[in-house]
Amino acid sequence: MIDEPDSNLVATLHPSPNIDERRRGLVPVLLILHYTGLPTLERSIEVLADPRCKVSCHYVVGEDGRIIQMVAEAARAWQAGVSHWAGESDINSVSIGIEIQHPGHSDGYPDFPPAQMIAVRDLCLDIATRHPIPQAGILAHSDVAPARKMDPGEKFDWRWLAAAGVGHWVPPELVGDTGPRLALGDRGEAVDAMQRRLADYGYGIAATGELDAASAFVVTAFQRHFRPARVDGVWDRSCARTLERLIAALPGHRNVA
């Protein structure tokens, strides 16, 4: 278990036994941001260190910005669960997880305090100095587990973080009520194209040509992260244009048209 912090931003060590080794020699290329969904920092740390709970994370960030490290960055924390991104399904082996103390959607879904956001920003920047994590690899738990998770959710300020140099983000196309809309149950080439583009970006989505429940969860996760003005699981023109802009803004992207 951890006996020395990886970062000098860490205020306290609180080792969790819920760890193992990163598999297949994998190294962190993703940074997964969560909320704890529990009422207090003390309770969150208790759960994340409880062997019966079988969950953990590398860092916890308190509402006041205090940073607690629970798992060494070299170890595999049990934070992502059944998850997918860019073809990888062992997200725990390729990521570092940060739990943000927050009561969650089911308990009022308050704003994230500025002191906490500043600490999250500083921690992400610090982690990125030690690992080859691209901006587009800084993700929400809901991005990698859209059918199960909604954290940290649409109030988490990805725009502000990106302006501070953390994460891949582009200003979303304004929400309008014109243009084609794809909703649960719709089928056809437009749905297939949407699924392929979401998969191109990294989402774990199959190109079935049907906007089934799994696809609607992915659309909702996309909206929470990249188009939070409307989170409704309906793929509209604003979503489609925002995704195209995101893909075009990826480093190394070449416009072939």
Which parts of this chain interact with Zn ion (CB under 5 A)?
A: 34, 141, 151
Distances (CA, A) of 156 to 140, 208, 223, 246: 9, 31, 12, 18
CB closer to Zn ion out of 34 and 224:
34
Q: What is the smallest separation between the CB atom of 146 and Zn ion, expressed in angstroms?
A: 12
Q: What is the smallest separation between the CB atom of 34 and Zn ion, expressed in angstroms?
A: 3
Q: What is the smallest separation between the CB atom of 204 and Zn ion, expressed in angstroms?
A: 16
- Per the listing, tokens 């990125």 go with 128
Alpha carbons 152 and 229: distance in angstroms, whole number? 15
b/e per residue 215-252 (b: at least 16 CB within 10 A): bbbbbbbbbbbbbbeebebbbbbbbbbbbeebeeeeee
Q: What is the smallest separation between the CB atom of 96 and Zn ion, expressed in angstroms?
A: 13
Q: Is the peptide bond before 5 cis (omega within 30 degrees of 0)?
A: no
Q: Which amino acid is at 83?
A: S
CB closer to Zn ion out of 34 and 102:
34
Q: What is the smallest separation between the CB atom of 151 and Zn ion, expressed in angstroms?
A: 4
CB closer to Zn ion out of 143 and 151:
151
CB closer to Zn ion out of 84 and 242:
84
Residue 49 near residue 86, CB atoms below 8 Å:
no
CB closer to Zn ion out of 94 and 182:
94
| 3-state SS, residue 98 | strand
